[in-house]
Structure 1
Amino acid sequence: MRALPILALCLAPLLALTSAPAPAEETPPPVPLGIGLEGFAYPFPVRFLPLTRDGEAQRLAYMDVAPTDNANGRTVLLLHGRNFPSSYWEPVIRALTNAGFRVVVPDQLGFGKSSKPIGAFTFDRMAADTVALADSLKIPRFDIVAHSMGGMLAVRIARSYPQRVNSLVLEAPIGLEDYRYSVPPVSDETLMAREGDLSAEAYRKQLMTSYALSIPASAIEPFVSIRERVKGSGEFPRWLKSFVNSYQMIWGQPVVHEIPLVKAPTLFVMGANDRNAPGKGFAPTELRSGMGDNTGHARALANRMPNGKAEVINNVGHLVHMEATEMFNALTLEFLNTH
């Protein structure tokens, strides 16, 4: 009978181990993604145009989507923003092709599935690459629908190649002010450290707040995931350098002074809540509140253009074609069909 307490003492540690809660499982790291987004599917087939930049062979990725019915003989180029691959244009592509347009959707060098140059970026070079793509596809004249940074590029194309551009739709374009007046120069090293250390949660918050988005965070999760997964690539330092170079281009190569000189019919489609201004976080506190009056700038610039117009959509931020898809598509198609 005395052996029972001894047996109980021997079993106690074992029972304690078996009854203890299992350790929490660690969240596995995201599956790495190549910096050419090789593991990320686009909604339409992707082709590549060989180019040369920085003495290296590069590839410009693009989608070329035919009209679904009743082709009208016109082509629209869709130009993406800095934080997004061209795949985010899918709802606009479908609306345009259903209306009879051929739609060409490039990833500019440095973005999406295109190669990532590490030399300095210029809007002039980017414009030349875009026109080279149109030439390769035998498209002599086209309309442009452009978002954010793509709006700055669209202005440069319209100024440098006016005979090629039929009309412009600028969706929440940046570059409607000269950021150099408010934001001091920031070194590449500072930018690379800041962008490289940005967590998925911080990036998600940055997009939702800086862009004043009216859509749930789940809608931008694919773009947050892309950025987080690219960190696992062995070429992430190259991606990071390329991404930083695009900021320096936006800051150092303003187009606002050229916008009133654009002769092509131009429609600004703005989100009323959008006060995005690249570099605002680096500006002195007393200057930040004056930055990003994008709606006001668009209206003022449209009034100074030979054929400009601004439409503002209430309760919408920087991603107009995702936040108010039907309204954006309707405004775009009405404008294109009028011109």
Structure 2
Amino acid sequence: MAPEGIIGHTVIGSGPEKVIILHGWWGDYTAYGSMLPFLDRDSFTYAFMDCRGYGKSREMTGHHSIDQIAADALALADHLGWDEFHTIGHSMGGMVVQKIMHKAVGRVKSAVAITPVPASGSSLDEDGRALFHGAATNDDNRIGILNFLTSSRLSKSWYNYVVRRSHETTSIEAFHDYMLAWTETDFVDEVKGNETPLLVLVGEYDQAITAEAMTHTLLEWFPNATFDIIQNSGHFPMLETPARLATLMENYLYKHS
């Protein structure tokens, strides 16, 4: 258990290169569980952080906001004694990665944004707002969103599993609040031109975070951004193609270590 005031986290590995890794909207760090056996623990030390209201931080009070997640991540790096580190984030966590790149210029050696929400947020039309706003209390909404994010390619059992884990690892309040955070927060003007090396990854079958969307956002804003498409994956490569995600991530980190 983390000391009082320090965000909940799990440290894996003992390598010299330090990595803060953030989960997305759908659940705590255990979403990365299928990927853990494929990580290079001799080269990297990973700190998997749980955002407030999720996992090991489920009972922590405070704001459920992009700024708060970034502040907690930087406080965690300080607590661990990491002057320099890499950072990785998925979806909502990928949005936070962009904020950390801005707030910790000179400390972040490189970053990986996995199917990331852009720093401009994710605007929703009227139907989208109804679908996402209702997801905190309606599992049919959650299933509908998951189908969209994966092009309806996966089994009923897979969708039910992700929904079940979202309930087990998050509070309803935090789940709803973070939806507002990643849809309504906009800090593009803060981050444009940031020169931190950044790898942007999208899934072939993700209908929300697409290659086209990244071309007009992150790849345009960040001069040292590179891009790859993960084949046979939707929005959740850590669950759909974990070995491939681990390989792409670590190959990039090696280059910037």
Q: CA deviation at 1:85?
A: 1.4
Whether the aligned pair in 1 keeps the contact of 2:18 and 2:45 (CA below 8 Å) is: yes
Give unmatched runs, 5+ long, in structure 2.
none
1:54-100 deviation digits (Å, cap 9, x = unpaired): xxxxx622101123xxxx41111110001121012124333333452
Which of residues 11, 14, 22 in structure 2 aligns to 1:79? 22
Shift of 1:107: 0.4
> Partners of 1:171 and 1:193 in 2: how far apart?
23
1:257 to 1:93, Cα distance in 2 relative to 1, 3 A: farther
- Structure 1: unaligned runs, 5 residues or longer: 1-46, 52-58, 231-237, 276-291
Instruction: Indicate the percent of aligned positions where both proteins have the same amino acid.
Output: 22
The structure that has the greater radius of gyration is 1
Aligned to 2:228: 311
Partner of 1:322: 239
Larger mean Cα displacement after TM superposition, 204-213 or 145-154: 204-213
Correspondence for 1:38: none
In structure 2, the residue corresponding to 1:97 is in which secondary structure? coil
Gap change, CA 1:130 and 1:196, over 3 Å in 2: closer
Aligned to 1:203: 142
Q: What is the alpha-carbon root mean square deviation over aligned residues?
A: 3.1
Partner secondary structure for residue 171 of structure 2:
helix
Residue 65, structure 1, aligned to residue 12, structure 2: yes
TM-score normalised to the size of structure 1? 0.65
1:336 and 2:253 aligned: yes
Which has the bigger relative contact order, CA under 8 A and spacing at least 6?
2
CA deviations on 1:86-144 (whole Å, 9 max, x unpaired) are 01212433333345211100101121231346765332222111111111111111111
Of the candidates 246, 253, 261, which is equivalent to residue 185 of structure 2? 253
When residues 185 and 313 of structure 1 are mapped into structure 2, their CA distance, relative to the original with a 3 A threshold, is: closer
* Correspondent of 2:103 among 160, 176, 180: 160
The number of equivalent residue pairs is 255
**Deviation readout 1:10-47 (Å, 9 max, x if unpaired):** xxxxxxxxxxxxxxxxxxxxxxxxxxxxxxxxxxxxx3
| CA distance, structure 2, for counterparts of residue 245 and residue 48 of structure 1 | 24
Distance 1:192 1:214 in 2: 21
Q: 1:262 to 1:91 in 2, by over 3 A?
A: farther
Q: Residues of 2 paired with 1:117 and 1:104: CA distance?
A: 18
> Relative to structure 1, is the Cα distance of residues 196 and 273 closer, same or farther in structure 2, using a 3 angstrom cutoff?
closer
Which amino acid in 2 is paired with 1:298? M
Q: With structure 2 as the length reference, what TM-score do the two structures score?
A: 0.84
Is the contact between residue 134 and residue 141 of structure 2 (CA under 8 Å) also seen in structure 1? no
CA distance in 2, matches of 1:193, 1:310: 31
1:216 alignment partner in structure 2: 155
